[in-house]
């Protein structure tokens, strides 16, 4: 090896060392769907708990709401970009510019009822969009120096609905449960989970997947069960309950979900799936009655009657799963995570938040939203 080769080798070593040091100092993550319900809560908690920069990519479809991120205005730590995870020109540009050490994918069409009426958007975003995102991330990851490659993570946020429905006596879903999706939404999320797994096993992409139970809490778009009950109750409208109201779900406070995702990102084993649940199995009608009781206490009706008088049973939706339940023991055993909130503490915080943030609710209740609710919940 001549002098010139030695010089080039030394320069390469120096450049690589600089790249590694730059990686350590820069510390950025990129989230997709960070203006939606879970994503916005994650972004707010991230900024509150760390100094690390967070790049937030969101398409701002109907459930994406920049008002949810208002506390981060003028904070340089948070960089918002409006865009689509399926944009194969934008994603590589963002990744090259910001050099994130991790990408967290919250972006998804996520409402079962909407998927029944219009499955095409769910296929496009949740399957095709995830594929294009994975390809963009793979290209970026392969361009990194070896040390940065080993530290990089792609975390995919998914749902327990991919597992299908449980009978009353069945044990809760573990990570080994077969995929048996029953709605266009859950089928699209199952497909996205399979893509993430395949990109790990085929290309070596360092991935992590979380499958969560029903989230509730602040910033929830008021078409989902709990916020819809709160908003309708206060407006004196009927509280629509599907079928007999005995569909059982495990309820997870959104801030607990966010802490679980941070823990999996920090310590999760590559290629593994972690179920995230709140250990709160309850039938829907019990949830509705609990919300009514809290409103009776915190914001009584003028006539002194209970909000529960507004409960109205409506025709069940097609293919409505009867029971979901998450077994989150793997996450507790391997990573030491447990939810901080009980359902009783979490639902009280949630109702209080909606009572204190009526302006936020009013701003998301567009004409299109009102038309959707009247179309969906017919007696």
Residues 6 or more apart in contact with residue 133 via CB below 8 angstroms:
32, 85, 86, 91, 103, 105, 107
CA atoms within 13 A on the CB side of 50: 15
Q: How far apart are CA 177 and CA 162, in angstroms?
A: 10
Q: Which is the catalytic residue, given 84, 113, 160, 223? A: 160
Pairing of strands 281-283, 248-253: antiparallel
The answer to whether 163 is a known catalytic residue is no
As separate numbers, helices (DSSP H) first and strands (DSSP E) second, the chain gives 15, 12
The answer to whether 216 is a known catalytic residue is no
Q: What does the block give as tokens for 191?
A: 């497909």
| 79 close to 52: Cβ distance less than 8 angstroms | no
Q: Which is the catalytic residue, given 140, 185, 274, 307? A: 185
The answer to whether 160 is a known catalytic residue is yes
Instruction: Give the end-to-end CA distance of the chain in Å, rounded to a whole number.
Output: 83
Q: What does the block give as tokens for 330?
A: 């793997």
Q: Which pairs count as long-range contacts for 151-154, CB under 8 Å and 24+ apart, including other chains?
A: 151/23, 151/101, 152/101, 152/102, 152/206, 153/101, 153/102, 153/103, 153/206, 153/207, 153/208, 153/265, 153/268, 153/270, 154/102, 154/103, 154/105, 154/196, 154/199, 154/205, 154/206, 154/207, 154/208
Nearest in space to 228 (alpha carbons), one of 312, 167, 164 = 312
The residue behind tokens 């709401």 is 65
Q: Which is the catalytic residue, given 58, 84, 109, 161? A: 161
DSSP secondary structure letter of residue 323: B
State the DSSP H helix or E strand holding residue 378, giving kind and residue range, or none if neither: none
DSSP secondary structure letter of residue 315: P
The residue behind tokens 């995929």 is 179
Catalytic residue numbers read 160-161, 185
């Amino acid at each position: 090896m001549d002098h010139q080769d030695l010089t080039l080798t030394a320069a390469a070593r120096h450049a690589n060392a600089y790249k590694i040091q730059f990686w350590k100092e820069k510390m950025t993550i990129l989230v997709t769907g960070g203006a939606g319900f879970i994503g916005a809560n994650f972004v707010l908690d991230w900024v509150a708990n760390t100094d690390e920069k967070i790049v937030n990519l969101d398409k701002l479809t109907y459930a994406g709401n920049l008002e949810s991120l208002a506390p981060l205005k003028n904070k340089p730590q948070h960089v918002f970009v409006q865009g689509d995870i399926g944009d194969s020109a934008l994603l590589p540009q963002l990744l090259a510019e910001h050099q994130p050490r991790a990408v967290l994918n919250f972006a998804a069409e996520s409402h079962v009822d909407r998927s029944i009426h219009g499955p095409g958007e769910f296929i496009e975003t949740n399957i095709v969009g995830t594929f294009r995102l994975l390809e963009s991330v793979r290209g970026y990851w392969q361009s990194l120096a070896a040390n940065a490659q080993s530290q990089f993570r792609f975390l995919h946020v998914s749902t327990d609905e991919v597992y299908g429905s449980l009978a009353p006596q069945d044990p809760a879903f573990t990570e080994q449960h077969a995929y048996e999706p029953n709605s266009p939404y859950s089928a699209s999320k199952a497909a996205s989970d399979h893509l993430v797994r395949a990109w790990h096993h085929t290309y070596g992409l360092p991935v992590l997947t979380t499958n969560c139970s029903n989230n509730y809490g602040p910033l929830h778009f008021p078409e989902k069960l709990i916020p819809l009950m709160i908003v309708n109750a206060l407006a004196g409208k009927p509280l629509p309950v599907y079928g007999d109201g005995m569909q059982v779900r495990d309820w997870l406070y959104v801030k607990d979900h966010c802490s679980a995702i941070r823990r999996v990102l920090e310590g999760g084993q590559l290629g593994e799936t972690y179920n995230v649940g709140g250990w709160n199995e309850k039938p829907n009608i019990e949830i509705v009655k609990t919300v009514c009781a809290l409103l009776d206490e915190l914001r009584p009706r003028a006539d002194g009657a209970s909000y529960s008088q507004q409960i109205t049973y409506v025709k069940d939706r097609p293919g409505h799963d009867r029971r979901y339940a998450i077994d989150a023991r793997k996450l507790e055993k391997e990573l030491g995570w447990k939810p901080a909130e009980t359902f009783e503490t979490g639902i009280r915080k949630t109702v209080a938040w909606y009572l204190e943030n009526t302006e936020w609710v009013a701003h998301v209740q567009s004409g299109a939203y009102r038309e959707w609710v009247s179309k969906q919940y017919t007696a």
